Amino acid sequence: MNGPHLVSREIGHDFGPKNVLDLDHLSMSRGATAILGPNGSGKSTLLRLLATVTSPTRGTIRVDGLDPTDGIERTAIRRRLGYLAQDSGLPGRMRVHEYLNYVGALKEIGPTRLRNRWIHWTLQQVGLEGKGTSRIRSLSGGMQRRLGIAQALLGGPDLLVLDEPLTSLDAEFRGRIATLIAELAQSATVVVATHHADELAALCDRAVVLLEGRAAFQGHPQELAQRADGATWETSTPDPSARCRAVGPGRYRCIGSSRPPGAIPAAPSVADGYIAITQLGR
């Protein structure tokens, strides 16, 4: 069984008079799609629409032909869905197992024995085994994020909508969770909003860059990297006319149309392509 096919047509979403999302056409199927964009570009709004928790102001969304505005079809979509909200929304007073048991019940997983097995398994996947009796408020920020991911995996959904899953994670778990997401995407449809272009978006099958609610790029992450072709440089001194970021002691990576003095050309990464689009409008 493959992950569902998601199609959106001319969807828009307004908050009062402000138009926060305006997309012509978006199509996603089995595999991982990374949604990139600066803060406030509409990533979370898009994910909320795909996760059926809000309805678009305009346009249509279909998940394997199912219409999320219809109550019965929306429930059918939600039976296949695992959703991690931007704010994990964890009740600090609850214990880890109690919380997952609650989410498992919300996902209609039963009986208790089956829920226990899913809980046991998901805690292993996110490296929280042995934490079942811990109060959520006693967990670190990274552990809480991993718990949020665990609840999304409960029940084995084939549509995963994850909003910034790598936030607050240390380097080890960023790698582990990015690998897990890439593995899941072999059969499931995974939509993931992230700021980790090289660690996560590069592992995805597709990337969408949002700018002020509009899709500035849709394609393979390699094509995104190519947007910075001929504009990526490495230098020992940052050039004020280019977009430079430190990549090591005394080493800077710059994105700019002209070669900074003393810089050498570098192979562009997905993050470079993203910066080329968002900063240089390439």
Partner 1 sequence: MNTPVTGLETALTRAGRRPRFLAGRDQTNQPERTELNFAAIEAELDAPRPSRLARLLARLGVDDRTIPLITATPALRFSWLGSVSLAILFAVNAANTSNAVDIDRIAAFLTIAPLIPLLGVAMAFGPAVDPTHETAVAAPTDGFRLFLVRGLTVVAASSAIMLVGSAFVGSGGYYRLAWLLPALAVTSLSLALSTRFDPRVAAGAVASGWLILVMALTNATDTAGAFGAAVQIGSAAVAIAGAVAFGRRRRRLDHLSVYP
Instruction: Please give the residues from 117 up to 136 whose contact with partner 1 meets the rule CB under 8 A.
Output: 117-121, 123, 125, 129-130, 132-133
3-state secondary structure of 199: coil
3-state secondary structure of 112: helix
Task: Please tell me whether the peptide bond between 111 and the residue prior to it is cis, using omega within 30 degrees of 0.
Answer: yes
- Min CB(236)–partner 1 separation in Å: 42
Residue 277 φ/ψ region, left for φ over 0, alpha for ψ in the -120 to 50 degree band, beta for the rest: alpha
Q: Which residues, in sequence order, are bridge partners of residue 154? A: none
Among 53, 66, 211, 280, binds partner 1 (CB under 8 A): 53
- Contacts to partner 1 from residues 70-89, by CB under 8 A: 71, 74-75, 78-83, 85, 87, 89
Whole-number Cα distances in Å, 115 to 42, 92, 98, 239: 34, 21, 11, 56
How far apart (Å, rounded) are the C-alpha atoms in residues 140 and 133? 15
- Residue 5 binds partner 1 (CB under 8 A): no
State residue 97 phi and psi, 5-degree precision.
Answer: -65, -40
Residue number with CB closer to partner 1 (83 or 252): 83
Residue number with CB closer to partner 1 (121 or 226): 121
- Residue 157 binds partner 1 (CB under 8 A): yes
Q: According to DSSP H, which parts of 154-243 are helical?
A: 171-184, 221-226
How far apart (Å, rounded) are the C-alpha atoms in residues 115 and 89? 20
- Residue 173 binds partner 1 (CB under 8 A): no
Residue number with CB closer to partner 1 (158 or 234): 158
- Stretch of residues binding partner 1 (CB under 8 A), selected from 178-186, 201-209, 240-248, 252-260: 178-186
Q: Are 268 and 226 in contact (CB under 8 A)?
A: yes
- Min CB(51)–partner 1 separation in Å: 5
- Min CB(53)–partner 1 separation in Å: 4
| DSSP code for 2 | P
- Residue 109 binds partner 1 (CB under 8 A): yes
- Residue 18 binds partner 1 (CB under 8 A): no
Among 10, 40, 58, 114, binds partner 1 (CB under 8 A): 114
- Contacts to partner 1 from residues 213-252, by CB under 8 A: none
- Residue 139 binds partner 1 (CB under 8 A): no
Residue number with CB closer to partner 1 (97 or 259): 97
- Min CB(269)–partner 1 separation in Å: 25
Amino acid at 19: N
Q: Are 14 and 42 in contact (CB under 8 A)?
A: no
